[in-house]
Each structure stands twice: as C-alpha cells, then as structure tokens.
Amino acid sequence: METPYLNTPPPPEELGAMTRGNIEAALAGESQASQKYLAFAAVARDEGYPNVARLFEAVAYAESTHARNHLSVLGEIGTTAENLKAAWGGETFEIDEMYPSYRAVAKLQENESAQTTIRYALKAEMDHQEIYDSTLKGVEGKKDFDESAVYVCPVCGHTVIGKRPGYCSQCYTDGSYFREF
C-alpha cells in the first residue's frame, strides 16, 4: 500500500545512468508487449475466441499504463507544445535516417515483404511529420487543432486530414476501410 502517492503515476526524478537505461529498456519492452497483444487480440477474434481477445486487450491496456508510468519517471511527458516537438523529432529521425537505412538493407538482402512494411511506414511518417509541424505552429499561437476528421488506413497507416479518400494513395486499400478519428 502506498497511500501518499494515491492515484498518480510516479513523477519524474533525477535518475542515475544505470537506472535511466533500465527504465528506457522497460519502456521499450512494455510498449512492444502492448502492441503485440493488440495484434494477438485481432487473431483471437478471427479464430472465434472473443473472450481471449478481450483478455489480450485488457492486458495490452495494463502494459500501456506501465509504459506511461516509466515515461513519467523519465520526465518525457511535457506540455502539449513540448510533446508535439518530441513527436515531430521522432518522425523526422525515422524519415531522414532510420527507414531509408533499413530500406537499403532490405533491398540489398532482397527481402520483399520487409521492403513493403518499411515503405508503408516511411510514407505515413511523412504525413505525420507535416501534421505535427503545422499543429505545433497552431499551439504556439494558443490554438487547438481544428475539428477536421482524421482518417487512417488500417493497412499502411497513411493518414489524411479532411475528407475520406476514395482509396489509399500508398497501398490502394478502398477508402471505406479507413478508420475515422
């Protein structure tokens, strides 16, 4: 029982290098577990195990709370302006360095599916980079993002603001499959 901290995630603290490294590794582990369980839930539902699917989703959510707690201790939850900057920075690294390097290796090694999944991600990160950039400018002028719908392709992650597209410009999936936020 830890009543003094009731109902709050653990706050940031000054971390020794070893502990910081461990919390970062734990954040990576929890994030991957959460995402895996969501994928496993979809499989369970397809196989006719709706209750196993629900269990996977609940546990995925539990891992998300752990990821959030670790992120909080690391001091990586800032104001929205700071968070948009961090998000933009992550997308930029993926576009400028990470995915081009990975794509080059997958091409060299003639791994076709790997090239496809890398291309899908790279293209969508470009959408995200631009969206975060313009949203950050709005927030710096104290403006919320407007009320436009956001559509996401459930195959490749292509992200569109405004109108539902007829089909996905990256992977040609029919627009009716796009998920609206």
Partner 1 sequence: MDPGLEKRLPKSEDLKAMTRESLAAAFAGESQAAEKYLVFAEQAEDEGLPQIARLFRAISFAETQHARNHLRVMGGIGATADNLKAAFDGEAFEVDEMYPAYEEIAVTQEQAQAKRSLRFARKAETDHKWMYEQARERALEGKDVDEQPVSVCVVCGHTVIGDLPDKCPVCAAAKEYYRTF
CB 91 within 8 A of CB 132: yes
Residue 119 CB, shortest distance to partner 1, in Å, is 9
Cβ closer to partner 1: 15 or 165? 15
Q: What CA–CA distance (Å, rounded) separates 120 from 137?
A: 27
Give me the residues paired with residue 152 across strands: 159, 179
Q: What CA–CA distance (Å, rounded) separates 46 from 51?
A: 12
Cβ closer to partner 1: 19 or 169? 19
Residue 9 CB, shortest distance to partner 1, in Å, is 7
Residue 172 CB, shortest distance to partner 1, in Å, is 8
Give the orientation angle of helix 112-140 with respect to helix 80-93, to 10 degrees: 150
